[in-house]
A and B are shown apart, each in its own frame.
Chain A
Amino acid sequence: MGLVFPFSAIVGQDEMKLALTIAAVDPSVGGVMVFGDRGTGKSTAVRALPGVLPAMSVVKGCPYQCDPGVMSPACATCPGRAAGKEAKVPVPVVDLPLGATEDRVVGALDLERALSRGEKAFEPGLLARAHRGFLYVDEVNLLEDHLVDLLLDVAQTGENVVEREGVSVRHPARFVLVGSGNPEEGELRPQLLDRFGLSVEVRTPTTLAVRVEVVKRRDAFERDPEAFIAAYHKDDLKVRRRIEKGRATLTSVDVSDTMLEQASRLCMALGTDGLRGELTVIRAARAVAAIDGKSHVTLSHLTAVAPLALRHRLRRNVLDETGSTTRVERAIAEVFAV
């Protein structure tokens, strides 16, 4: 695969970058759905992600890249193994391409080994490869329904159970699901949307100066990708350090009862179903506070993440054309009364 456009060189798209950073700091926010116009480079930010993710420790030799700190009971190889050696590997960002077949997604019997050596071996699929990292599905609305259902199941349980010809395997598969889609090409099922923790809307910049900057950077990258990447290496490192810092301080960030109450009031005002919205607002706000180096969550953090966490959970009012972003902003203004 070719060289990728650096994360920090992306002009604008602040919401998109914020959402991905939050997910990198606290994967439990549960996935990011990206809606966007054409030509905005929805995929660029996702493909640039590996450049800003801190490396992770894995149990050496574990096919599922288990964390040496937390032995997963679901892993077929790790429990029972004496304290294994550790290795540092990059966080996986796995592309789930259109046309992928189920056997490659969940894993299947390794045909080559079975035929040549008569061994029954499991060949892990993309879900295994994405464990502890990101799984990216471009144009998620075009993916076959049964694959989408499968992904959602695994994303929810954190475990992939394979019962196919000749193999019976369970393995851990915790990943941040990142999907992209364009509402003009078919709507997403609400059940699917609700499973994503955050959603972002990517728009084409409208000011000339910003547009010129985008064109220039794109041009510079295409002319000399190596030099361009080198020029942004330092900035990418800065983002990586922010993520590292955020992860380290995440658990110590305090969420006061007042903040919890504010989040609940906001969700009630918007009429979002269930608790998922509130939980996501709180988690995302905590991650942002951690990235900012703050010891507790403030109203400004809630305000920053509420549109991301809530806009895709609003009940669709067929008679109201108002965009969901506007509705969330309006509710924020009313509830937080700033």
Chain B
Amino acid sequence: MSVASAAHEGVDAGAFAASAAALLAVAPRALGGALLRATSYEDGASWAQQFAALLPEATPVLRLPPGVTDDRLIGGLDLGATLATGRPIAERGILSRADGGVVVVPGAERLTARVVAAIASAMDMGSIPLQRDGISAMLDARIAVVAVDDGTDDETVARPLRERLACWIALPPRWRGAAWPLPSRDEIVDARVRYAAVVDTDGRAAEILTSTAMVLGIDSLRAPVQALAAARAAAALAGRLTVSDEDIALAAQVTLAPRATRLPPRADEPPPPPPPDEAPPDRADDAPSESGEETRPLEDQVLDAVLAALPPELLDALTQPQDRSTKESGRTGLEKAGTQRGRPVGTRRGLPRGGARLHVLETLRAAAPWQRLRPAPPGGATVAVRKEDFRVRRFIERAGRTVIVAVDASGSAALNRLAEAKGAVEFLLAESYARRDKVALIAFRGSAAELLLTPTRALARARRELAALPGGGGTPLASGIAMSLQLAEQSRRAGSVPTIVILTDGRANIAQDGSPGRPQAEEDARTSARLVRARGVAALLVDCSPRGEALARELSTLMGGTYVALPVADARTMATVTRAVVERST
């Protein structure tokens, strides 16, 4: 049966997942790949398996291991071969070994920004430049990617990768074992041959798919380019040499619907006019019996098809006005990249022990000039390496600092110029990012503290959060300190040096458990402050009350921190003081 007709029958996520697999198998490079969201690992694996079964025989399908290193991803020096032959031999990385095939990425939402960039570059260029360990080569890497997103709600696959994947598939539960109609491997091979020859008459599919993408609020131009390729693949699969209306509709359903960021205007509103000087003249010879009216219905049909294909969750999300800014920002693993302890900065002479890692290439380089002078090594080895040749990798532990800013956004602080306090924090953020420190942001108001921003370097995001920070309510100072401390310990585990900066007027009136009452609130704040000292985290307390608050001063002493009274919130002074405290703590 035809894949296209299966998809037309209505909202059937399973059928779309099957269609996507078939289309992707026909044109893996042009479509880039799939973004798979599955409720269980088995469902995801099962889809990937069915997809792989459609690919021609001997197509490599490789799995990207979590935490992949540069040498395994891109390639590097083949240690064994290099030592055996006495000359540098390159080893290919996963991207290059998957040339002509597919890279499956489990846990794609946790990739670091660097890995994402390397994959994206290979997808774009079909090759990957290897400039590592004395090796200079251009390796073919014509890959498609199946990214499996098993993340929780707030983690999404990084944008540069999502962008390049045409098919976003939300697998229905229990996809496993479901018998969806899929073409045979031979049909795919036939379709691949036909694919290149499929014609988009008068660029009609290009126009309709581009305008549909625009109506659905899909900003990137990669989407319509991929949609057009999908339409072509659908035609090829159905044995056609021209793109039909059915192919266009299917392509829109599979590639555009899941990426919609808004719903099209209602049918009774006037639709956006088609581009003025395109389409109409050609259309006349194309379909002599029909008038120019015919273009509108097809666009409507495609849009109807897309609407029918929208997954219910997405439809809900789109009909409810909500702030999509945080969801849209597309986390990358950049924040987590800080977990590397230090970064490699060259090599030094030394033996590889006590945890020092041998740098083979530099060791060989050090040994090389002496080979003529040294007696040939025993046992048929090619290279005579001596103790003094050994080089080990040097790392710099300056992995970074994390400045945790906790802002009092309570009613009393708001009275005492919350706006200026925000200005001061922004100044501090700007300072920190300039030094590649990370900044986290906590606000406490009402009954509890809230984490506004996990440690980040993206100032733009921090600014957005801060600008949206409302003021008012009680002062849960204890929770504010406690959460700062918790975050500080997290960053410390990630190899970073934390500093806590608390900006408050010190009028604590909400206890740790969220209940109001000044005495308990103050006592809890003292307890939290003592914990800060116990854990040895550097702290700075900025008192922004008009005349200085006794409790604020006391808390800062309990924390073993620095106290600064800034009755006039001067952004520059505060940043200078914080900088001094941060520097001291490292």
Do these two chains really belong together in a complex? yes
Q: Across the interface, which residues of A come within 8 angstroms of B334, CB to CB?
A: 185-186
Chain A binder among B117-125, B496-504, B505-513 = B117-125
Contacting pair A105 B134 (CB below 8 A): no
Chain A binder among B57-65, B302-310, B427-435 = B427-435
Contacts A115-B371, A118-B369, A316-B430 given; does A211 touch B221 at CB 8 Å: yes
Contacting pair A219 B423 (CB below 8 A): no
- Within the complex, the shortest CB–CB distance from B100 to chain A, in Å, comes to 14
Contacting pair A212 B207 (CB below 8 A): yes
Would you call A2 an interface residue if the criterion is a C-beta within 8 Å of the partner chain's C-beta atoms? Answer: yes
| Alpha-carbon distance A268/B211, docked complex (angstroms) | 45
Chain A binder among B40-48, B262-270, B357-365, B446-454 = B357-365
Q: Across the interface, which residues of B come within 8 angstroms of A184, CB to CB?
A: 159, 329-330, 458, 460-461
Contacting pair B219 A212 (CB below 8 A): no
Task: For B369, give its contact among A99, A108, A114, A211 (CB under 8 Å).
Answer: A114
Contacting pair A114 B368 (CB below 8 A): yes
Would you call A43 an interface residue if the criterion is a C-beta within 8 Å of the partner chain's C-beta atoms? Answer: yes
Would you call A145 an interface residue if the criterion is a C-beta within 8 Å of the partner chain's C-beta atoms? Answer: yes
Would you call A88 an interface residue if the criterion is a C-beta within 8 Å of the partner chain's C-beta atoms? Answer: no
Residue on B nearest A109 in the bound complex, by CB: B365
Would you call A170 an interface residue if the criterion is a C-beta within 8 Å of the partner chain's C-beta atoms? Answer: no
Interface size on A, residues (CB 8 A): 66
Interface size on B, residues (CB 8 A): 90
Would you call B200 an interface residue if the criterion is a C-beta within 8 Å of the partner chain's C-beta atoms? Answer: yes
Q: Across the interface, which residues of B come within 8 angstroms of A211, CB to CB?
A: 210, 214, 221, 224
Residue on B nearest A138 in the bound complex, by CB: B121
Would you call B135 an interface residue if the criterion is a C-beta within 8 Å of the partner chain's C-beta atoms? Answer: yes
Would you call B372 an interface residue if the criterion is a C-beta within 8 Å of the partner chain's C-beta atoms? Answer: yes
Contacting pair A215 B133 (CB below 8 A): no
Task: For B196, give its contact among A144, A165, A223, A318 (CB under 8 Å).
Answer: A223
Q: Across the interface, which residues of A come within 8 angstroms of B209, CB to CB?
A: 215
Contacts A1-B138, A165-B366, A209-B275 given; does A318 touch B86 at CB 8 Å: no
Would you call B413 an interface residue if the criterion is a C-beta within 8 Å of the partner chain's C-beta atoms? Answer: no
Contacting pair B460 A99 (CB below 8 A): no
**1/0 per residue A1-26: CB within 8 Å of B?**
11000000000000000000000000
Within A172-202, the residues touching B (CB, 8 Å) are: 182-187, 189-191
Q: Across the interface, which residues of A come within 8 angstroms of B117, CB to CB?
A: 98, 138-139, 142
Q: Across the interface, which residues of B come within 8 angstroms of A41, CB to CB?
A: 221
Interface centre among B70, B128, B136 (most CB of A within 10 A): B136
- Within the complex, the shortest CB–CB distance from B418 to chain A, in Å, comes to 14
**1/0 per residue B281-301: CB within 8 Å of A?**
000000000000000000000
Contacting pair A97 B369 (CB below 8 A): no
Task: For B118, give its contact among A98, A103, A145 (CB under 8 Å).
Answer: A98
Residue on B nearest A222 in the bound complex, by CB: B30
Task: For A215, give its contact among B126, B221, B383 (CB under 8 Å).
Answer: B221
Contacting pair A123 B134 (CB below 8 A): yes
Would you call A162 an interface residue if the criterion is a C-beta within 8 Å of the partner chain's C-beta atoms? Answer: no
Known pairs A101-B133, A204-B220 / 6 extra A-B pairs, C-beta < 8 Å: A111-B88, A118-B371, A184-B329, A184-B460, A184-B461, A187-B458
The 3 closest A-B pairs by CB, nearest first: A39-B220, A114-B368, A318-B426
A-B contact list, 22 entries, CB within 8 Å: A37-B220, A39-B222, A97-B121, A98-B74, A99-B114, A103-B361, A104-B132, A104-B133, A109-B365, A115-B371, A118-B371, A120-B369, A139-B117, A182-B160, A185-B458, A187-B459, A211-B221, A215-B209, A215-B224, A219-B229, A318-B426, A318-B430
